Structure 1
Amino acid sequence: MLSKDILVYRKIRYELRAYMCYLFTQNIQNYMPSTNLKNVLNGIEKIKDEIEAFDAIYILDATGNEISANGIACTENFSDRAFYYEAVREGKCIITNPYPTSNSGKLVVTASYPVYNQNHELIYVVCIDLALKTAISISAPSKFSNFCANISIGIYGLLSVCLTLVCLLLFCKGAFSFYIALGHFKNFDIDEIFKAIIQLTLALAIFDLVKAIFESEVLGKNTENNAQTLQQTMVRFLGSIIIALAIESLMLVFKFAISEPDKILYAVYLIGGVSTLLVGLSIYVKFAYKKENQGN
C-alpha cells in the first residue's frame, strides 16, 4: 500500500539522506579547482556501481536546465522543482518528499547534490531519482530489527486490548452504579453518584491512554508529532486522575464531617496531595508548551 510505504519512508528518510550524501561526497569533488563536468560524470559512474536500481540520474546547470554528457543544455528547465531549489537554498545534499513522475505516475524521491567551484559558485546540481520502494529497500532495517519491531507492535497491541477491557469494565461499573442510584432515587445516596463519576472518569483517562498508545505504537500515526501527542495525552491522563482524586477527597470530607469528624484530617491530606499533583501538572504544562513554542 502506498500510504504504508510513505509512512515507512518518513521513518527511514534521514538514514537514506545520510547514505546518499555519503555517495555524493565520496565520488564527486566539490569546491575544487578541478571540478568540471567530466569529473562529475566520472563520479556519477561510480555512484551507478553502488546503486543499480535507480530510476534516473541527470545533471542540471546553475539555472536549472538539464545538460547532456557533452555539456549542451536541454530546453526543459527544472528550476521550479523542489529537488533543484531546495538543494540550491540549503547548499548541501537534500532528499525530496515522494512525488509522482510525469511519465509513469509512480512515486519517486530525488536526492540532489549542488556542486560548486573553488569560488563557491554553483555550477551543477546532480540529481538521482529513486523509486519509493527502492529508496525504502536501500535504508530498510535488517530482518532482525523488523522482527523485534513486530514483537514490540504485538506487545503494545496486546496491552492496548487489556487496557481497553479495563476501560470497558470501569465504564460498565460506573454506568451500573449510576443506574442503581437512579433506581433508588427516593433513598438517594450521594456516595453512589460519586463512585459512578470516579469510575467513569478513570475509564476516560485509560481510554485516552490506550488511544495514544495504539495510534502511535501500533498504527504508526503521528510519527512527526510524537512529542506533542505525548504531552497532550499526559495532560489529559493526569487531569482525569486529578479530577477523580478531587472527587474522592470531596466525598471523604462529606463522609467524615458527618459520621467520623476525628478522621477528617485524612481527607485534608488527600486534598493536599491532589493540590500538589495539580501544581506539578501546571508546571509540566508551562515548560512543555514553552519548549514547543520555542521550537516553532
Structure 2
Amino acid sequence: MKEAVVIFKHNRTIIENFLRSTIELNELDEINKENSKIVFKLLSSLELSYMVDNDYKQITPYFFKDKIDTTTYGLSKGQLFSKINIESDTIFISNPYISSHTGNMCITAAKSVENGFIIFDFNLINVLKSLSLIELNKPFNALSKLMYGAIGSFLFLMAIVLLGYAVKIIIESVFMGGFFKEIGSIFTPIIAITLALAIYDLAKTILEREVFYKNYTELDDAEDKVLRKFLTSIIIALSIEALMVVFKVTLSDDFSQMTYALYLILGIASLIISMGVYRRFVTNLKND
C-alpha cells in the first residue's frame, strides 16, 4: 500500500539501521539448507533469501519460510546489481518494490560476504509492524480493497460504455447521412471519447494503487498528475460543448441563447485559472 511506502520514506534511517543491526548481530554470512530454518526464525520479517557469487551468479536456491525453489539456481542476477555498488563490509538496503516471487511489497538487503553476496528480501509491512510504525486491521483492509476494486471496475465499465456510445453515434450518423447535416453528430462523439479517457485514467489509477499495487514510483506527485489529467479532460469536453452551443446559436439566428454559451465559457475560464493557481501553489510548495 502507498501509505507503507510513505512511512518507509519518513523513517528510512530507523528502518535501515534496524535491518543492518539485525543482520550484523546475528552474524548472518551464509544461508543454506541446514541453517535456513534458523535464519527465518531470527528474522521474522524475512520472506526470501539466497546467495550470489562475485559475478552475481546465483549459487543457492531460493529459500522461503516453508519451501525451497531451485528453478533459478545458476542464473545470473547481474541485471539486478548493475546499478548498485555494494562495498565490502557493508549492507545495501533497497527502496520498496513489489516482489515478483511473493507479490508483496518488500525491501531487499544485500550483504557482502567472502564468496559473494547474501540477499535478504523483507516484507515491508512486517518490518513496519516490528518497529510499531504501522498497525493493520486485516478485515478492514480486505473490505477497503474490495470496495476500491468494485469502484475502479465500475468506472472502467463506464469508460467502455461511453466509448461504445461514441462509436454508436458515429456509425449511425455516417449511415443515416446526418454526420454532415447536424453539428451535434460531430461533437457529441468527441465529448464522449474525451470523458471516457478521463474516467479510464481515474479507474486505472484507483486499481493500480489501491488494488494491484502495480506502480509506486513518484508517489509524492502521483495524485497531482491524475487530478491534472482528469481536469484537463473535463475542460476539453466543456470547451467542445461551449463551441457546439455557439455554433448552434449562430446557425439558428436565435442570439438570445448566446448568454448560456457565455456562462459556459466563463466557467471553463475559471477552471483553467483555478488549475493554474493550483499548479503554481504546488510548484512553490515543492521548491520550498
- Smaller-chain TM-score range? 0.5 to 0.7
Higher-helix-fraction structure: 1
Match for residue 56 of structure 2? Answer: none
Q: Which amino acid aligns with 2:156?
A: T
Instruction: Return closer, same or farther for 1:147/1:82 CA change in 2, 3 Å cut-off.
Output: farther
1:278 aligns with 2:278: no
Q: Distance in 2 between matches of 1:202 and 1:281?
A: 18
Instruction: Return closer, same or farther for 1:8/1:98 CA change in 2, 3 Å cut-off.
Output: farther
Encode CA deviations 1:67-124: one digit per residue, 9 max, x unaligned: xxxxxxxxxxx9645549xxxxxxxxxxx8533775796632xxxxxxxxxxxxxxxx
Query: 1:164 pairs with 146, 156, 167, which one?
Result: 156
Deviation at 1:179, TM superposition (A): 1.6
Q: Which amino acid aligns with 1:274?
A: I
1:227 aligns with 2:220: yes
Q: Which amino acid aligns with 1:107?
A: I
Encode CA deviations 1:150-200: one digit per residue, 9 max, x unaligned: 221111110011101111111000111112222234753111111111111
Match for residue 107 of structure 1? Answer: 119
Deviation at 1:19, TM superposition (A): 6.9
Instruction: Return closer, same or farther for 1:152/1:258 CA change in 2, 3 Å cut-off.
Output: same
What TM-score does the superposition give when structure 1 sets the normalisation length? Answer: 0.58
Match for residue 254 of structure 1? Answer: 247
Q: Distance in 2 between matches of 1:289 and 1:11?
A: 20
Query: 2:201 pairs with 203, 208, 216, which one?
Result: 208
Q: Which amino acid aligns with 1:282?
A: G
Q: Which region of structure 1 is more displaced relative to structure 2, 201-210 or 136-145? A: 136-145
1:197 aligns with 2:196: no
Deviation at 1:17, TM superposition (A): 5.6
Match for residue 95 of structure 2? Answer: none
Deviation at 1:285, TM superposition (A): 2.3
Gaps of 5+ in 1: 26-43, 46-50, 56-77, 85-95, 109-130
Deviation at 1:282, TM superposition (A): 1.7
Q: Secondary structure of 1:228's match? A: helix
Deviation at 1:223, TM superposition (A): 3.1
Instruction: Return closer, same or farther for 1:9/1:235 CA change in 2, 3 Å cut-off.
Output: closer
Alignment of 1:1-296 (within 5 A): 10=5, 13=8, 18=14, 53-54=42-43, 80=88, 82-83=90-91, 97-99=108-110, 107-108=119-120, 132-133=122-123, 137-140=126-129, 145-185=137-177, 188-259=181-252, 260-292=254-286, 294=287
Q: Distance in 1 between matches of 2:246 and 2:6?
A: 52
Q: Distance in 2 between matches of 1:100 and 1:229?
A: 33
Q: Distance in 2 between matches of 1:158 and 1:136?
A: 24
* Paired positions, count: 212
What is the aligned-residue RMSD (CA, Å)?
A: 4.0
Gaps of 5+ in 2: 27-39, 47-85, 93-106
Q: Distance in 2 between matches of 1:99 and 1:11?
A: 22
Q: Secondary structure of 1:132's match? A: strand
Aligned-residue sequence identity (percent) comes to 26
Q: Secondary structure of 1:98's match? A: strand
Q: Distance in 2 between matches of 1:156 and 1:218?
A: 7
Encode CA deviations 1:16-68: one digit per residue, 9 max, x unaligned: 8647868999xxxxxxxxxxxxxxxxxx69xxxxx97149xxxxxxxxxxxxx
- 1:205–1:237: 8 Å Cα contact kept in structure 2? yes
- 2:87–2:112: 8 Å Cα contact kept in structure 1? no
Q: Secondary structure of 1:99's match? A: strand
Instruction: Return closer, same or farther for 1:235/1:265 CA change in 2, 3 Å cut-off.
Output: same
What TM-score does the superposition give when structure 2 sets the normalisation length? Answer: 0.60
Encode CA deviations 1:215-236: one digit per residue, 9 max, x unaligned: 1111224435223221111111
Q: Distance in 2 between matches of 1:97 and 1:196?
A: 49
Asked which structure has the greater CA Rg, the reply is: 1
